[in-house]
Structure 1
Amino acid sequence: MEGRHGQKKKAESPEVLKARQEHEAVLVREYCGLKDSLKEIIDSKKRDNDALRTTTALLRKGPDYYTVWNVRRTILQEGFLNGADSATADKVYTGELEFVQENLNLNPKSYWMWNHRRWCLEHMNQPRWDKELATVSKFLELDARNFHGWDYRRYIIRQLDLQDKAASDRILERAQSEFDFTSTKISQNFSNYSAWHNRSTLLGKLAEDMTDEEKGLAIENEFDLVKNAIYTDPADQSAWLYDLWLIGREERSISILGSTVISFNPLEIVVTFDETVKLRNPFTVSTMLDHVALPLDGEWRATGSDSSIGSIWIFQQAPGSVYGPTVEIVIFSDDVCGVRGGSKLASATCFELETLDQNLDNISGRLERLPIGQNLMYDVSRRIGPIPGPDGTLDTQRTDSKHLVTSLTVSDSLQDRMALLERETAAVRELVELEPDCKWPIQILSTLLSELRKTISIHSAQAKQIDDECIELQEKLISIDPLRQERYEDRRTQLVFDRETLHIIKDSKRFPEIEFANQQPRDLDLSMRGLTHIPISSYLMHLHTLNLDSNSITSTRFLRNLLNVRRVNLSNNLIEQLEGLQHAPSLGFLTVENNLIGKWEDVVAGFVFWRDGKLSRTGGHVRVLLGNNPVVENEGGEYVLEKRWEDVGEVGVEIQWKSEEQRLTEEALIAAEGADAIGRIHLEGTRRVSTTTVEFDAGH
C-alpha cells in the first residue's frame, strides 16, 4: 500500500488500530460535549470565564468553526468589555491577539483567525500597526506564499498609510520598502503569485513622482525581471500572469451591429449587439408627427425566454399608438451594460428609420433584404451622429482608445502598442521553440497574437495569418493539456467563428465599434469546423440557411437569435434537447439527425412558445428530422402530442423519425423493386414508422 509522497504505509497491528480508534472516539465525544456546552451558552447568554473557556477549547480543535468566533466576540463585548476602561479593554484585546497568534502558528491559513485579529486591532485604543507588520513578516518568512498573510500585510500597510496621510514622503518610502520586499520574495521563489500581485499594486504609487524617462526605465526593469522568472520556470503560471498584466489589454466596448425593421403593422424594430447586454434604460424611440417629434409608446424585449437580457432587442409598438414617416432610436452609452464583464458602449448611437414606404416590392434597403414568408426583414435605417447626450453635451464618436500597459505607461501611441506586442511575441516564440510541450508559453503567445490582431485591419492578410496560427495553437493545447480540453475547444470555436464570419461585419480598422457589412449573406456553411457552440449568434440574424453539420454543438438555444433563418442543419452533433426553436419565427426546416436526444420531452421542450404578448409563431409550420437519435430507438412509432399550447395559434410540427438517408434509400429501392422490397432493408427489432404531423389549434 502506498502512503503519502510515495512512501509505503505500514500496516497497523490489531492492537494499535483498536487503540487509535478508541482515542478518536474519545476525541469525538469531547468535541460533541463542547458543542452542547456552546448551545447552552447561546441559549443562556452566559458571558463569564466558563463560556470563554468553552470557545477556547472548541477553537483549538477547529479554528474554522466561524460561529464560535462570533459567539466569542459576543461574550467579550457583552461581558469582559462591557463598561471596561481603555486600559482594561486593551489588555483583553492583547490577550486575544496572543491567543490568535498561538493558533496561527498551528494553522496560518484560517480566514476566521485573521479576521478576528483585525477585529481586535480595530477596537483597540492604541493598536501597534508597526508591531503587526513585523508579526506578519515572520509568518511570510515561514510560508512566503501564504496569501492570507499577504492580504493581511496589505491591510496593515493601509492602516499605516492612514496614520501618515499628511506625510506623503513617508507613504512613498513605505511603498518602496514593500516593493523591495516583493523583490526579495520573488527572488527566493518565482512561483510566489501573491508577491507578484502585491508588486502590481505598488507600481502606481511609485510612479506618481517619476519622470517619463524614469517610468520607461522602470517598466523595462519589470519586463527583464519577469523574463528571468519565465525562462527559469516556463511551466509556472505566476510570472506569466504578471507578464500579461504588464502587457495589458485593450478596453472591451460593446458594439451596435445595426438596426432593422421586421414588421410595420405593428411596428417592430430590431437592434442588434455583438454581445449579451442588459438594459439600464429603455432606448428612446420617437416619431415625427406634423413636424413635431413625439415619443412612440412601446416595449423593448430581448429574444429568448428571458426577455431581460440578450444580444438582440426588439421594440414592439404599443396598441393604439401611431407613428409618422420616420422613427428615430437613440441609444446612449449608459443605456446598456455587458452581462459578463460589465462593458459599455463606446459612444451613443442614433438610427433613423424610414417608414413612409411600406410596399415590400419597392423597398431595397442597405442590406438588400427581401420579404420572406410572413416574416419581414429589411434595413430601412441609417446611422446618424454625433448626437447630444441627455445633459445636452455632444457625445462624439471615439476614434481611439488608450493602450494601457501599466500605470507607468508614457505613450498612448498605437505604433508603440504594436511595437511592444511584436517584441513580446518574438520573445515568447523563442521560448515556445525551446519548450514546445509547455502549455503556458503557448497560451501567452495566443493571447499576444490576439492583442496584436486588434491593432490591424480585420480583413488584412496578416489578420488571417494570426487567426490561423491561434487556431493551431489551441489545437496543440488540446493535445498537450487534455484535462482542460473543453476550455481550449471553446477558445478554438471562438477563433474559427470569427474567421468564418468576417465577411458579415465591416472592416472597422481602428474604429472602436463594428457594424454589419452592407451586403449580408443568405446562406452560411459552417459544417465540419469543430465548433462547440455559436459564440455570437446575433451575427447570423440575416441568414436564410445555416449548415452546422458534423460539429460538436450541444445546444440549439442560439436559434432564438436567428430571426430570419428558414433551414438549419444540425445533424451529427451532441445535442440532447431542443431549445429556442419557438423564438425563431421563420424556421421551417430543422434536421438534428444523429444527435443525443433521448426523450420525447426533450423534443417538446423546443416548442413551448412565448406568451403574454411576446413574439410567437402564428400559422408557421416546422419540419423536424430526428432520425438516428436515441428517442427514436427508445420510443418509435407515432405520437399524439399533448395539447399544451392553447394560446399560440395554429402551428404545424412535422416529425420525421427515420433518417433522411434511410428515406432516400427506401425511395430508391421502391422505385427499383417495388413496395415489397422495403421489408428486406430493415434490421431485426426495428419497424417502419410513418411521418407524423400534428396541428395545434388555439381554439380561436
Structure 2
Amino acid sequence: MHGRLKVRTTEEERERKKKEQTLKVKAYKAAMAKIQDKRSRQELDDEMLQLTSQILLRNPDVSTLWNVRREYVEHKTKTAIVEPLDEHQAIYDIELSFSEQCLLVNPKSYNTWHHRCWTLEHSPNPNWEREVQLCSKYLKMDERNFHTWDYRRYVAEKANISKQHELDFCTEKIKANFSNYSSWHHRSLLLPILYPYDGDAQPKRAMSEDKLKEELEMVLTAAFTDPNDSSAWFYQRWLLGYSRQELDICAFRYENKRAVLAFTNPIILENVDVSLVDAEGNKIIKFGNWQSANNTLADTTWIGSSLNNNTTNSLPDMLILVVSIPQINVQQLALKCCSNTNNKTYYYFKSPNQTFAFTGNVLTELQSQLESCQSLLEYEPDSKWTLLTSALLMRAIDPKQYHDESLKYVEKLQKVDGLRKNYYSDMASKWILEKCLLDWTDSDSIPKKLDLRDAVQLNAIFYPQYLSIADKILLPENLSNCIEIKQLQGFETLKP
C-alpha cells in the first residue's frame, strides 16, 4: 500500500545481500589489480595511496596494502627536498592519523597496530606521550583489548613512563573490572621489576614476600567477587608459582666412563664445560662427546663420556660436579656415591618442584585463603575454580601433608568439569609422580631401581629426564607402552 515501507522477504533480503557482496568483490579485485600494476611499475604516487586507503578503511587486515603504504612512505621521504624534516614528519603524521581511522573499524587489527609501530620508529619526531594517552583512551572503550595493552607496553617504554605509574594504571583498571586478563598479565610483568625477590629460595619467587602477601590478599578479593570468573584465579595461580620451571640441572650420573646429565627444560648443549673435582678443587674427570638422548637439537637429557682413563673404583667417595654452561650460572653440585660389586656410581638428583617454597607471613596468608576457599565450597560445592584453587593452595602450603586431600579435589574436578577431565587426570599424574620421585630421593633404591607399580592412578609419565639415572624402572601395567621412551629404558641403555 502507498506510504508503507515494503518489508522484504527472507529470500529477497538474501538476494540483495548477495548482489551487494558481488559488487564489493568486483570493486576490491579491480582496486587490487590496479595497485599491483602500479606497484610493479614502481608508481608509488598519491593515487596508489588513495586506492589502499579505500580498501583498508573497510578491511584493515590486508597485509599487502600496509606493505605498499610503507613502500610509498619510504619513497616519498627519500624524494622530499623542501624543508625535509617538517615535510617528512607530515608524511608520518598522515599515516598515524590513517591508522587511527582503521583502528576505529577494527581495534584488534594486528596489521594496523604493527604499521603504527613502524611509523613511529621511522618518524623524525615521534610523540610517545601522545601514544600512551591514546592507549588510555582506547582502553576506556575496551579495557580488555590485549592489542592495546601490548602496544601500551611498547610506547610506555619509549616514553620512559615509570613502572610504578603503569602498575597504578593496572590497579585502576582491575578495580574497574576484575575480569581483565590483560591487566592482570601486565601487572605480572611489572611486579618482578618493581619488587624483586632477593632471597635464596629455589625456585626463585616472582617478587618480594611482603608484596606477594599484598597481591594474594588483593586477588582473593577479586576472585571472591565473582568465583566463576577465571581471570583472578589464573593470576593467583601465577603468584603461587605454577609456571614453567627455570632451566636447571635436575639429575646426573657417572659410572664406568659414562655420564648422563639431565635438565629441567630442553637445552642445546654447546660450549659446555663439565667436570668432577675433589674436595680440594682438583679436577679429576673431564667430560665430553655430549649427545642428545633423543637425537634432537635441544633435549632435556644428554649422554657424555669421560675424557680421562680413571676408573670409578679409583676415585674418592666425595666428588663435586662442576658445570659451566652459558645459559645458567656455574654450578657446583655435591655428588652422592654408592658402590656395587664392580664399580662406584656417582649421582645427583633434585626432585621436580612446581611451586615456590613459602615462609612466614605468606604461609599464614595461604592457609587463610585455603580456609576461605573451603568456606566458599560449603555454599558452592561445585565451583570448579574454587576447587582447583583449593588444591593448588594445598600444594603450595605443604604438598606432602596435603597430597591425598589435593588429589581428592582433583578427582572431584573431573566430575564437575567433565570437558577438562583429561587435563585434571594429567595434573593428578604429575603430582603423584612428583611424590614418588620425592620419596625415591630418600630411599635406598636410588639410583638402582624406581618402582612405580603401586602408582595405579598414573596415566602418563611426565619428567622422563628425572628417570634417566635409574637402572631399572618398574611401571604400572597401564603404562607398559611408555617403555619406548628412551629415558625409561634404563641407565645402561643410554650410550653416546
TM-score w.r.t. structure 1 length? Answer: 0.57
2:380 corresponds to: 435
Letter in 1 for 2:421: Q
Answer whether contact 1:303 1:314 (CA < 8 A) is retained. no
Residue 451 of structure 1 aligns with which residue?
396
Indicate which of 231, 236, 246 corresponds to 2:229: 236
Structure whose alpha-carbon radius of gyration is higher: 1
In structure 2, relative to structure 1, the CA distance for the partners of 1:156 and 1:281 (3 Å cut) is closer
1:383-422 deviations in whole A, cap 9, x for unaligned? Answer: 8xxxxxxxxxxxxxx9xx9x98xxxxxxx98334433432
Q: Letter of the aligned partner of 1:142 in structure 2?
A: M
Identify the structure with the greater helix proportion: 2
Partner of 2:50 in structure 1?
A: 53
2:236 corresponds to 1:271: no
Residue aligned with 1:64, SS? coil
Aligned to 2:202: none
Contact 1:300-1:314 at 8 Å conserved across structures:
yes
Identify the residue that residue 395 of structure 1 maps to in structure 2.
none
CA distance in 1, matches of 2:42, 2:360: 69
Alignment of 1:173-212 (within 5 A): 175-176=164-165, 178-203=166-191
Alignment of 1:491 with 2:427, yes or no, is yes
How many equivalent pairs are there? Answer: 465
Q: Which amino acid aligns with 1:191?
A: S
Are 1:300 and 2:228 counterparts? Answer: no
Matching residue within 468, 473, 496 for 2:409: 473
Residues 342-396 of structure 1 deviation map (CA, whole Å, 9 limit, x = unaligned) = xx589313659xxxxxxxxxxxx72x5467xxxxxx544378xxxxxxxxxxxxx
Q: Within 2, Cα distance between the matches of 1:545 and 1:221?
A: 44
User: 1:496 and 1:322, CA in 2 relative to 1: closer, same or farther beyond 3 A?
Assistant: closer
Q: Secondary structure at the match of 2:60?
A: coil
CA shift digits 1:96-130 (9 cap, x unpaired)? 22211112111111122122223333333443434
Distance 1:122 1:287 in 2: 52
Distance 1:311 1:423, change over 3 A: farther
SS of the counterpart of 1:525? coil
In the other structure, the counterpart of 1:311 is: 301
Q: What is the Cα-based RMSD across aligned positions, in Å?
A: 4.1
How far is the alpha carbon of 1:502 from its aligned partner? 3.9
* 5+ residue gaps, structure 1: 1-9, 163-170, 209-214, 338-343, 353-364, 372-377, 384-397, 405-411, 455-462, 508-515, 566-583, 586-613, 616-700
**TM-score normalised by structure 2 residue count:** 0.78
What SS class does the counterpart of residue 61 from structure 1 fall into? coil
Which of 71, 74, 79 matches 1:77?
74
Instruction: Give unpaired runs (5+ residues) of structure 2.
Output: 1-6, 197-207
Give the CA deviation at 1:479: 1.8
Q: Which residue of 1 aligns with 2:204?
A: none
Q: CA deviation digits over 1:127-174, x for unaligned, max 9?
A: 343433333322222111111222223333323327xxxxxxxx48xx
Q: Offset of 1:492 from its aligned partner?
A: 1.1
Relative contact order: is structure 1 or structure 2 higher (C-alpha 8 Å, sep ≥ 6)? 2
Greater mean deviation of Cα atoms: 537-546 or 83-92 = 537-546
Instruction: Label 1:190 to 1:533 Cα distance change in 2 as closer, same or farther (>3 A).
Output: same
CA contact (8 A) 2:301 2:468 kept: no
Alpha-carbon shift at residue 50 of structure 1 (Å)? 1.3
Aligned to 1:533: 461
Tell me which of 481, 484, 490 is aligned to 1:563.
Answer: 490
Identity, in percent, stands at 24
Which amino acid in the other structure matches residue 439 of structure 1?
K
Provide closer, same or farther for how the CA distance between residues 82 and 420 of structure 1 changes in structure 2, counting only shifts above 3 A: farther
Partner Cα separation in structure 1 for residue 290 and residue 179 of structure 2: 50
Name the aligned partner's letter for residue 418 of structure 2. P
Instruction: Give 1:611-622 correspondences, 5 Å limit.
Output: none
Q: Which amino acid aligns with 1:348?
A: Q
Aligned amino acid, residue 381 of structure 1:
Y
Distance, in Å, in 1 between the alignment partners of 2:287 and 2:192 is 50
Distance 2:395 2:427 in 1: 11
Shift of 1:64: 1.3
> Against the structure 1 CA distance between its residues 351 and 34, is the aligned structure 2 distance closer, same or farther, given a 3 Å change threshold?
same
Is residue 333 of structure 2 the alignment partner of residue 349 of structure 1? yes
Taking the aligned partners of 2:450 and 2:159, their CA distance within structure 1 comes to 65
**In structure 2, C-alpha distance between the alignment counterparts of 1:65 and 1:87, rounded to whole Å:** 30
